Structure 1
Amino acid sequence: MSTDPLAMPTASQRLLDSEGFFDFVSQEMRSGLQVKDRTHNFKKYPACFTGKEAVAFFMAKKYAQTEEDAIKLGNCIMEMGVFEHVTRDHELKNEGLFYRFSSQGASAEQEVPKLSWADAVLRPNNESKLAVGLQPQMPSWDNSGFTVGVKDLNVSPLDEHNVKLLDNVHPAQWAEPSPTKEKYNLVVIGAGSGGLVTAAGSAGVGARVAIIEEHLLGGDCLNVGCVPSKAVIRCARAVYEARNAAQFGVKVTGVEVDFGAVMERMRRIRAGISSHDSAARYQSLGVDVYIGHAKFTSKDSVVVNGKELKYAACVIASGATASVPPIKGLRDVPYLTNASFFNLTELPKRFGVIGTGVIGLELAQSMARFGSLVTVMGRSGKILEKEDRDAVEIIQKQLVEDGIIFKLKCQYKEVKQAADGTIEIHVVNDGNIEIVEVDQLLVATGRTPNVEGMGLEAAGVEYDKKRGIIVNDNLMTSTKGIFAVGDCSTEYKFTHVADFMARTVIRNALFFGSGKMSSLLIPWATFTEPEVAHVGLYDTDLYKKGIKFNTFVKKLSEVDRAITDGQEEGFVKIYVKEGTDKILGATIVAHNAGDMISEISVAMQAGFGLGSIAYVIHPYPTQAEAIRMCGDLYNKTRLTKFVKSMFRNLLAWRRK
């Protein structure tokens, strides 16, 4: 027998080597063999396959190399009660005899996959030390039944947590449904936030829905974005609090960071949450789940795994991937993106970041607090370019205090890897020639929409490689009946935006609705510490639009709870239309700004003015009182000289 653990032994060798192999092939039979009604001697036998078809299937799948082995394999599975002859009087033969699957257990479409990624025997040269020998006693078997290889999924190490994750969001073995001639009401391409919400919501109102995902259900948010990054950020905050506990009269000595434990905690949390986005859960919701690459063949059909799915409407939710700038030599070094950062298990002594946006700064601050020497490089001279400059000043000050070195006027010349593994970034920074040496380099320079290789041309869907799929305000593409949501079709690349785009498109695609993207009020937050959150328009937007406005600011240094928390760096800033209390936009800098911004979002969505917020009782003491205080500031402006004069005269009269 081959020493290669992934080599394919013959069926007779399998009979000796692997008891689990029979369960595996049984499931493959259920999903791979065509069953249909057949007639013999004028009698109809429903849902059957023939012995010839079974033997041909085993040999085509290379579960057997000879007809004799195929018949032996089939009879072993038959003895397990998986299938039977329609009259129970024949063993499996390579003839046109009729057999049917046993009624015991679920059908292929309902069956929960039994094969786990933990069953995989990884190659000895696998890069992950934790993955090697996960189950060293597992008998070798053919890996062709796996939906895709472990390395292709870019999930490492293959410990118990990542095994659980993969079993949920990209099962090792998935018995997908067989499409019928009946059209789907909706086919969804991509199972990130936008795709999953679209599929679940549509199935929930009775639509026949299919969703197609070739990588990991849950998309970036669950796997390489919001969930893992916030788990890591929370650990970094704990380190910071421990090291700075003396200001609260708490002496903490010898603070050590176990980076491996930090990342293990992240993997455990991510795996636990992954059940919400699992293939099995969406199947239970009535969604047909296909795992593979989707490609359009016409305006009303798409192909996945060789199967054609016809639809009345389609929603593209293909997401986006990390952009990699065309810097000389960069693609020749082992750089990280958000898709690979969360595979780290050891803390690099020196950590470099190319990019000054949200992803880069959130992870840069965390790594600095864990103990890495962090250098952040950019070209524009600024960080968080779209944010309020007063907010950015506070954030950058804190990042510098955390130990981050900024080089913000870089011209990138070349990236090289030295013999010892050090990555060298050659730059001209503010006129000075410099070489930045790091052990790990994160590239965080934006997101590129996933639009190529999907056959969009065959469907007549217009797209731009940089902007993504072109949609109108109703989220419809250039082809009637095909819509797009999420990162592949909007500049607002946030999970919550994809969620609400999906809610809009369900109405438009299924019920002739006219929901508009422009009607969505979109808040967002950057989860550095302190956080910065925003909703509505910035002052720069208002100036460009020629809208006259007033600004009301309350500093946290004037808010009791912020003072007692030792979190005085920050503010609430609210813009209102001049002469009214209509809120046009707001920015908050605070340690929980992402939570606080929702109060202003609710007010804007409901049409409540800033003056009304002043009359909302807030618990004391909370940092959210700063929002109410802005309302008080507005109401004071209504006390004009004339009104004050009237009040003085009235009160003087009442004293008589």
Structure 2
Amino acid sequence: MTHIKTDICIIGAGSGGLSVAAGAVQMGADVVLLEGHKMGGDCLNFGCVPSKALIAAGKQAHVLSHGAELGVSDVAPQVDYAKAKDHVADVIAAIEPMDSQDRFEDMGVRVIREYGVFTGHNTVQAGDHTITARRFVISTGSGPFVPPIPGLDDVPVYTNENIFDLRDQPDHLIVVGGGPIGMEMAQAHRRLGSKVTVIEGAKAMGKDDHELAAIVLENLRAEGVEILEDALAEKVTGKAGDVTVHTTQGPVTGSHLLMAVGRKVNVDKLDLHKAGVKFDRRGVGVDASLRSVSNPKIYAIGDAAGGLQFTHVAGYHAGVIIKSILFGLPSKAKTDHIPWATYTDPELSQVGLTEAQAQDKYGDKLEVARFDFHHNDRLIAERKNKGLIKVMVVKGRPVGVSIVGPMAGELIGMWAMAIANNMKMSAIAATVLPYPTVAEINKRAAGAYFSPKLFESDKVKKVVRFVQKWLP
């Protein structure tokens, strides 16, 4: 048995844990990093990276069959599903070295490839190692939640953790869950040639702005994705290659079943009770500084902290706690400036409050500026000008932005910066952008906010007429 004393012990080598390790060790701290599975965590191996790679393959197939309106004859794409999965594996392999054990050991991090469990308030056991640390960081992420549907144990079930290993193309993929993961995988597989049915017990994309989500769902249905809403899965029957999901709207039979109903936080195997750490199914109980409310030596970040479950949130959390752990300075995590995106086509992105949330919070103080993608010249030229941006404004400052359309995930960046830095709409309106670019949508949305105040104001018109009388 080896006993190790260190400044910081990090449990989990996903996005958040790696960010803490890299930052802390390069600023002089002694760091131990524990990882019992794959370096890079869920995002690199089972989530963000492989899903976007598969989406890219589906997009390429879609482009080949939709060029006629640009003067390029449509062709039926010849999809090799196994090679598409080779592409996914190649993308993971290309990014993998940045998250590798060798890279972090070269930085000076002591990496132990074992799962960690708490044995006391300031000790963790990992294989043959006992680690005592001044501070611990729980960055164990989350995994797919598979609900206890009767019969589910009797058929092959795919989740995001094994769907990317599948080499034989599904003839008919049934996706249970109409959230971001389910809809992204549904569209990617439909574009690659599979028949796809999505089963959602409530409303598909129900957590997003309803007006914008409707645009996404309309496009997916137009591409042939069958979406059943208010269809609760009651039981599952069948066998490999012939699976039936029995729902409140009738049975759906397909060849493969993908469960995408949500995530569960990976904290139940850490023996947190031995460290006096309060937690529940949502994650570790933390305060605004991401420190455990019951054990000040322990922090939790990313999904383990029980909030927004996004890779970039884990990275943001890493920056928050480094300030506290390394320098003893107060530092708090916020959520109102955190953006996110769903990478369907069209994309859907959000930062801050939706229109409904802003209306509930601000009432009559809220103004909503809208701009339709139909009027963006770059997208008109590319025949991709279907989309909408809505900016929720209070006292001249954006408090939320919802975007649906091409590059929505890129467009949201300007608004995330504006909200994070308490900028006014005038800052967006004053920005000069190259023409023609998709980014002009943001500036035009700001213009839509100011236009009524300038062009429909009798007061402004009177001032202009007065000034004109006195100009030489």
TM-score range, shorter chain: over 0.9
Distance in 2 separating the partners of 1:336 and 1:509: 39
**Is 1:603 matched with 2:414?**
no
What runs of 5+ residues in structure 1 fail to find an aligned partner? 1-33, 35-177
Distance in 2 separating the partners of 1:654 and 1:497: 55
Aligned to 1:410: 231
Aligned to 1:558: 375
The 8 Å contact of residues 301 and 310 in structure 1, kept in 2 or not, is answered as: yes
The 8 Å contact of residues 64 and 76 in structure 2, kept in 1 or not, is answered as: no
1:84-110 per-residue CA deviation (whole Å, 9 max, x = no partner) reads xxxxxxxxxxxxxxxxxxxxxxxxxxx
Question: What SS is found at the alignment partner of 1:352?
Answer: strand
Distance in 2 separating the partners of 1:326 and 1:422: 20
Aligned to 1:318: 140
**Is 1:255 matched with 2:255?**
no
Q: Superposed, which structure 2 residues align to 1:168-567 within 5 Å?
A: 179-180=3-4, 183-380=5-202, 382-418=203-239, 421-429=241-249, 434-465=250-281, 467-477=282-292, 478-518=294-334, 521-547=337-363, 548-567=365-384
Structure 2: which amino acid aligns with 1:421?
A: G
Q: Report the alpha carbon displacement of residue 386 of structure 1 after superposing the two structures with TM.
A: 1.4
The 8 Å contact of residues 611 and 634 in structure 1, kept in 2 or not, is answered as: no
**Is 1:633 matched with 2:448?**
yes
The 8 Å contact of residues 6 and 32 in structure 2, kept in 1 or not, is answered as: yes
The 8 Å contact of residues 379 and 408 in structure 1, kept in 2 or not, is answered as: yes
1:533-555 per-residue CA deviation (whole Å, 9 max, x = no partner) reads 11111122222223421011110
Q: Select the structure with the greater relative contact order (CA < 8 A; seq sep ≥ 6).
A: 2
Q: Which moved more, 1:525-534 or 1:539-548?
A: 539-548
Q: TM-score, normalised by structure 1?
A: 0.70
The 8 Å contact of residues 300 and 459 in structure 1, kept in 2 or not, is answered as: yes
The 8 Å contact of residues 184 and 208 in structure 1, kept in 2 or not, is answered as: yes
Q: Report the alpha carbon displacement of residue 625 of structure 1 after superposing the two structures with TM.
A: 0.8
Question: What SS is found at the alignment partner of 2:136?
Answer: strand
Q: Report the alpha carbon displacement of residue 627 of structure 1 after superposing the two structures with TM.
A: 0.9
**Is 1:619 matched with 2:434?**
yes
The 8 Å contact of residues 483 and 509 in structure 1, kept in 2 or not, is answered as: no
The alignment covers a number of residue pairs equal to: 468
State the identity as a percent: 34
1:631-654 per-residue CA deviation (whole Å, 9 max, x = no partner) reads 222222332311210111211333
1:505-557 per-residue CA deviation (whole Å, 9 max, x = no partner) reads 11112221221112662000000011011111112222222342101111010
Distance in 1 separating the partners of 2:199 and 2:286: 34
1:184-230 per-residue CA deviation (whole Å, 9 max, x = no partner) reads 11000001001110111110110000010111110011000011111
Q: TM-score, normalised by structure 2?
A: 0.96
Q: Which moved more, 1:503-512 or 1:630-639?
A: 630-639
Flag the structure with larger Rg.
Answer: 1
Question: What SS is found at the alignment partner of 1:251?
Answer: coil
Q: Report the alpha carbon displacement of residue 252 of structure 1 after superposing the two structures with TM.
A: 3.7
Aligned to 2:404: 589
Question: What SS is found at the alignment partner of 1:518?
Answer: coil
Distance in 2 separating the partners of 1:361 and 1:400: 11
Q: Report the alpha carbon displacement of residue 624 of structure 1 after superposing the two structures with TM.
A: 1.3
Question: What SS is found at the alignment partner of 2:162?
Answer: helix
Q: Superposed, which structure 2 residues align to 1:51-130 within 5 Å?
A: none
Question: What SS is found at the alignment partner of 2:219?
Answer: helix
Question: What SS is found at the alignment partner of 1:492?
Answer: coil
Structure 2: which amino acid aligns with 1:281?
A: R
Question: What SS is found at the alignment partner of 1:638?
Answer: helix
1:291-330 per-residue CA deviation (whole Å, 9 max, x = no partner) reads 1121111111101112111100000011111111121111
Distance in 1 separating the partners of 2:297 and 2:204: 41
Distance in 2 separating the partners of 1:538 and 1:268: 37
Q: Report the alpha carbon displacement of residue 250 of structure 1 after superposing the two structures with TM.
A: 0.3
Q: Report the alpha carbon displacement of residue 254 of structure 1 after superposing the two structures with TM.
A: 3.7
Q: Report the alpha carbon displacement of residue 179 of structure 1 after superposing the two structures with TM.
A: 4.4
Structure 2: which amino acid aligns with 1:409?
A: D
- Relative to structure 1, is the Cα distance of residues 546 and 576 closer, same or farther in structure 2, using a 3 angstrom cutoff? closer
Q: Superposed, which structure 2 residues align to 1:21-36 within 5 Å?
A: none
Distance in 1 separating the partners of 2:72 and 2:322: 53
Distance in 2 separating the partners of 1:550 and 1:557: 22
The 8 Å contact of residues 570 and 588 in structure 1, kept in 2 or not, is answered as: yes
Question: What SS is found at the alignment partner of 1:569?
Answer: coil
Structure 1: which amino acid aligns with 2:95?
A: I
The 8 Å contact of residues 336 and 352 in structure 2, kept in 1 or not, is answered as: no
Structure 1 runs (4+) greater than 3 angstroms displaced: none
Distance in 2 separating the partners of 1:389 and 1:249: 35
- Relative to structure 1, is the Cα distance of residues 520 and 633 closer, same or farther in structure 2, using a 3 angstrom cutoff? closer
Distance in 2 separating the partners of 1:632 and 1:421: 54
1:165-189 per-residue CA deviation (whole Å, 9 max, x = no partner) reads xxxxxxxxxxxxx544xx2110000
Question: What SS is found at the alignment partner of 2:165?
Answer: coil
Distance in 2 separating the partners of 1:417 and 1:250: 44
Q: Report the alpha carbon displacement of residue 626 of structure 1 after superposing the two structures with TM.
A: 1.3
Q: Report the alpha carbon displacement of residue 599 of structure 1 after superposing the two structures with TM.
A: 1.0
